Amino acid sequence: MPSLEEFHQDFLQSILSDSESRGVLKSQSFFEIACEDLVSTGDLTGNYTTADYSKKGMEVSGFDYDEERKVLTILNHQFFQDDELQTLTKSVLENKLARLRKFYTSAVDGLFKNIEETSEAYGMAYNIYRYAQRDQVRRVRFIVLTDGKISRNLLDIPIEQKGGIDYESRVIDLEYLYKIYETASGSAGFEVEVNLPCLRVNDNRHDYFSYLTVVNGKTLVQVYEEFGQKLFEQNVRTFLQFKGNVNKGLRNTIEYKPEMFFAYNNGITATASDVELDEKTGNIRKIANFQIVNGGQTTSAIYAAFKNSGLSVDDVSVQMKLSVVKDARLQDEFISRVAEYANTQNKINNSDFFSNSPFHKDIKEYSTRIFAPAVGGAQRRTHWFYERVRGEYLNSQAYLKADVKRRFLIENPKNQVFDKTLLSKTENLWLQRPDIVSKGAQESFKKFAEYIGDLLEKDDLAITESFYNEAIARIILFRTMERIVSKAPWYDGGFRAQTVAYSISYLSAVVQASNVFLNFDLIWELQAVPAELESVLGIIAERVYATITHPASGYANIAQWTKNSNCWESVKLMNVDLPELDSSLFIDRQTSKYKQKESKNIKSIDQGIDKQIFVIQRSREDWRKLFNFYTARNGRRILSGMQLDMLEKMASGYITTPSEKQSKILYEIFRDAQSDGFDPS
């Protein structure tokens, strides 16, 4: 595991790379990267907004609002940008917090009336004013982000209460961000203190062991109050409010028959990396890395009934099945399986199990195997590194010798690291969904997951090498557009992300209307956007910026306007006078279809070879165990006669070199058995 100092250096390199590739200030890059880290842990919602405002003793960088818990968060930052880890002093911290508090009180008093309506700060101040007027704030958090560290005695600042509202001041320093990295890497986490009676179900001989327990409604409210979305990082669904019949039933039971909740409700399915039992009572007293995999609706319903409706939950009891998986390598797959089998209360969408999709495996395999074209006189070709698991890029270097690490960094440069969040954003924009992307990373990823789920359901060969190359080209296009907007003389600041999003989608719409396809292969080969196309992007972006910053009547808040599908409809109606572009920038429909067909043929051949290798490399003993596994479980009913006969011949050694067709059948039998609990080791 990398040390704090190594993490600090890598973190600074991430900021430098992000800043250069997007054309933004390093401080802005730091703020956004840190906020995304906090979103990943549930400290912020996916709808946080960046908005700079500095004036008359006030300084703020953005805000966030948790609608369910009614928590308003106002953010500021202190970015040292120093190779040496700096210390955030008490005086600097107090000054930062004072400026945040001043902004909040001014916003509540109507500060938005004195701010330019086309600025992001206007939307921030207006929303805070509106929340206060509607009595929609229970807690206000003032958070200062820093790439330095702070003494432990300054981390726990007492919560103040005034007018029925809790005021909390927090510092998120580099050590906190490092702990997020450790948690994602499976080496650290958070603990929930409880007092729950329990029944142990199995023993330590298994990869996991379970407890059956009962959680009181008040305890559940307290735990959710403290940890919020951290409890649902691995959950496949979000709370659907009281819209579905199931949720209406939950609320009615809490209000009228709370003592029957245990009998009526399916309860909670949760996981943990460890538990600690009380030696005297045998009760569970600590749960490490507590994750509610199924039961998010139950938890949220109880919390909402108590907080929003003022209902008592003292008589509510919830059954809970808690499974402990100590091996971090097994947790993702285990949680995915639990979620798949346990979630039965409401319909599951294609996006819900996307974390277990073959899409990730394919993209990771291509990113490892495919070299990007060498450009600019480079002597060594490079990869685009797909960070499928958080912290994977840094972990890949952790135990490398100095010379091997240097080679790794040359072949996998920091500015060519990408993850599923960026990928979902760039793909959605080319699919002409800028309003969805403007709603935040969470919503964007959900829609992309649905799209990929449908795509793979129709065509399991859809994610080809050609798809991968074009996806990287779209990332290059996105970063180029960010630089263009940031450096444009007409750009006054604010709404850069929305301008970039709508500009790319507008380009996609223009190309589509011309009945041709953009030549992404050209961008891939150049590893850059051709200069001729760059100039067109600048023209489009200027018009888009002018359009989205003058919202339709009834939309005073530009940030909210860009999240509306009507905004996209208005942008599509723009008539931008574009110069005629060289034909090499486009390909016709027939060429595109031929390219896709060839890519799928190549992938099909590769898959067949991979399956043959897999089957041949398994020992005869493995096939014998597999045959016994099926026959012991009435495999004659599970498998067809042909499948069972082939498996028996493989187990007996009658098939020495299986054909491609035989390998495919045997491969699928083996994989199905593994998903059903078969383990040949």
φ/ψ of residue 667, rounded to 5: -60, -45
| Residue pLDDT, tens place only, 624-678 | 888 888 887 654 457 888 888 888 888 888 888 888 888 888 888 887 887 666 7
Please report the DSSP string for 454-474 in residue order. Answer: HHHHH-TT-S-HHHHHHHHHH
Question: Quick one: average pLDDT of 588-617?
Answer: 78
The span from the first CA to the last CA of the chain, in angstroms, equals 28
The residue type at 111: L
Distance CA 389, CA 184 (A): 8
Distance CA 348, CA 214 (A): 26
Distance CA 619, CA 616 (A): 8
Q: By the 8 A CB rule, do 143 and 76 touch? A: yes
What residue has token string 């009614």?
70
Q: What is the DSSP letter of 549?
A: T
Centroid of chain to Cα 509: 27
The residue type at 213: T
pLDDT band at 341 (very low <50, low <70, confident <90, very high): low
pLDDT band at 281 (very low <50, low <70, confident <90, very high): very high
pLDDT score of 570? 94
What 3-state class would DSSP assign to 29?
Answer: helix
Is the per-residue pLDDT at 614 higher than 80? yes
The pair of structure tokens assigned to 681 is 């080791």
Q: What is the DSSP letter of 580?
A: P
Half-sphere exposure of 215 (CA within 13 A, CB side): 29
Lowest mean pLDDT among 210-224, 589-603, 644-658: 589-603
Q: List the alpha helices (DSSP H) in 202-344.
A: 217-227, 245-256, 261-264, 296-307, 328-342
Contact residues for 212 (Cβ-Cβ < 8 A; gap 6+):
198, 199, 201, 319, 320, 321, 322
Centroid of chain to Cα 532: 34
CATH of domain 4-184: 3.40.1350
pLDDT score of 336? 60
| Residue pLDDT, tens place only, 52-71 | 999 989 999 999 998 888 99
| Residue pLDDT, tens place only, 345-391 | 444 444 444 656 788 888 998 999 899 998 876 667 899 999 887 77
The pair of structure tokens assigned to 81 is 């940008």
Is the per-residue pLDDT at 236 higher than 70? no
The residue type at 301: A
Angle at 618 between CA 614 and CA 619, to 5 degrees: 165
pLDDT score of 247? 66
Closest CA to 231 of 271, 260, 185, 198: 271
Q: By the 8 A CB rule, do 426 and 475 touch? A: yes
pLDDT band at 307 (very low <50, low <70, confident <90, very high): confident
165: β partners: 162
Structural domain spans, the chain: 4-184, 191-346, 420-592, 618-675
Closest CA to 667 of 630, 619, 612: 612
